[in-house]
Chain A
Amino acid sequence: MADFADRSFFQGIRVMRQNPKSSSIEKVMSKHEAAIMAIPGVTGIGIGIGDQQSGLVIKVYVERKTPELEMRIPKELEGYPVKTEETGEFRAF
């Protein structure tokens, strides 16, 4: 039986309630990687920092930003914001 006097037990509950993200950003990214990479015009997916340096975001790289791609790419994945970034085509240098 759980010891309710144990502070870490309550802290654990609080963290779960405040934070809707139940998995790490890496796990969420790899879970959705194949589906995102399958969208035509997508050049990659990675982890970066948001515009306001606010925290980690999932970045989706696209050859060129188009209204169609903006529609198809989700705005967030399991609580993590998704930022679309134009990269052009990647090639070996």
Chain B
Amino acid sequence: MRLEKSLILDVVEEALSAPSGTKLYGFENIKGVGISEKIINGWLTLDPSVTVYVAAKVPLNEIQEEARVPEKIGGVPTDVVEIGEIDAFPFKGRYRPAPGGVSVGHFQITAGTIGCLVKKGGLLCILSNNHVLANVNRGNPGDPVVQPGPIDGGHVPADSIGKLTTFIPIDFTNPNAVDCAIAEVQSKLVTQQNQALGKLKLPVVPAQLNMLVNKCGRTTQLTRGRITDINATVRVGYGSSGTAVFQRQVIVQSLNANPFSQGGDSGSLIVNEANQPVALLFAGSASHTIANPIQSVLGALGVTVVA
């Protein structure tokens, strides 16, 4: 089988770099490309084919002209195979043991992200935000926390992973330092690994301007960014609960055109390039991500990171 590697790489690059947001199915519908044997009516034909994996097989007139898969690429016939969204599941799915960086939530919210494991005395807990594990001050100690979060299909009791232990109340009148909470978990239900970052390193380190950072979250998964601001005071909206002011915050901006984080990434642990914890993500806008310095979080809750 003689196929130019570049042929495939070109298609992949085009597919992955194309913008989305149009009503027609575009390149974002193409999830992967490979070489296989052409199958016709379920029979292998011994002929090579370029297999294009798509999220959804749809009529040609619903696909942008440039994103249509031609019948042949470089003289080799193509096959279009529907495989659905391959990148959605790994961070919104149900995991036992559950790693950091995946969907979680108080049973009455939508979903946020597991930051990491922490210890409070002898108690093993997951760390995330107050608005993820304690439903913005409305939760009570003992409330069930589900993995994945409710919007990702997590139900009580089948998907319960722990119980809300402690949260730092969010003050809507005076300035805050942190949006954080912990939920007690059984050690067999969790792992200290992070879904995309792997093994964390200690000690935790303070945020510094221009520091390059990574995070893994339920929605935007693994992203890279740079700390552009420190010691920031910001006003953050909490929907119907109101607006709260946070002081001494860290601001991160993405290294590329995609956002560093979005809704559902709350609770993600932000780490430096050596995988040392730096901050706990909790808010942002389309262009900026806001996080609590990790030392403030650990101090407020009286916990230490398990890594």
Contacts and interface: CB of A to CB of B under 8 A. Distances in A.
Interface in B236-256: 236-239, 245, 249, 251
Contacts of A47: 209, 229-232
Contacts of B264: 93
Contacts of B234: 43-44, 46, 61, 90
Interface string A9-29: 000000000000000001001
Contacts of B228: 48-49
A65 interface: no
A90 B283 contact: yes
Interface of A is mostly: strand
Given A44-B235, A92-B236, A61 B284 contact: no
A5 to B, nearest CB: 39
B282 A88 contact: no
B127 to A, nearest CB: 16
B233 A37 contact: yes
Interface in A63-93: 86-93
A91 B233 contact: no
A89 B251 contact: no
Nearest to B266: A93
Contacts of B233: 33, 37, 44-46
A37 B245 CA distance: 10
Contact of A45 (B136, B232, B288): B232
Contact of B235 (A37, A56, A59): A37
B287 A87 contact: yes
A93 B288 contact: no
A91 B230 CA distance: 18
Interface string B156-187: 00000000000000000000000100000000
Contacts of A37: 233, 235, 245
B196 to A, nearest CB: 17
Given A46-B249, A48-B209, A49-B210, A90 B232 contact: no
Contacts of A45: 232-233
A90 B229 contact: no
Nearest to B238: A92
Contact of B282 (A26, A43, A46, A92): A92
Nearest to B265: A93
Contacts of B236: 90-92
Contacts of B290: 90
A90 B285 contact: yes
B103 interface: no
Contacts of B112: 93
B239 A92 contact: yes
A29 B233 CA distance: 10
A18 B263 CA distance: 47
Interface in A46-64: 46-49, 56, 59, 61
Scoring B228, B261, B265, B289 by chain A CB atoms within 10 A of each residue's CB, the highest score goes to B228
A56 B210 CA distance: 12
A87 B259 CA distance: 12
B66 to A, nearest CB: 31
Given A49-B210, A91-B238, A44 B232 contact: yes
Contacts of B249: 46
Closest 6 CB pairs of A and B: A46-B232, A44-B234, A88-B285, A46-B229, A91-B237, A93-B266
Interface of A: 26, 29, 33, 37, 43-49, 56, 59, 61, 86-93
15 contacts: A44-B235, A46-B233, A47-B230, A47-B231, A48-B230, A61-B232, A61-B288, A87-B285, A91-B263, A92-B136, A92-B238, A93-B263, A93-B265, A93-B283, A93-B284
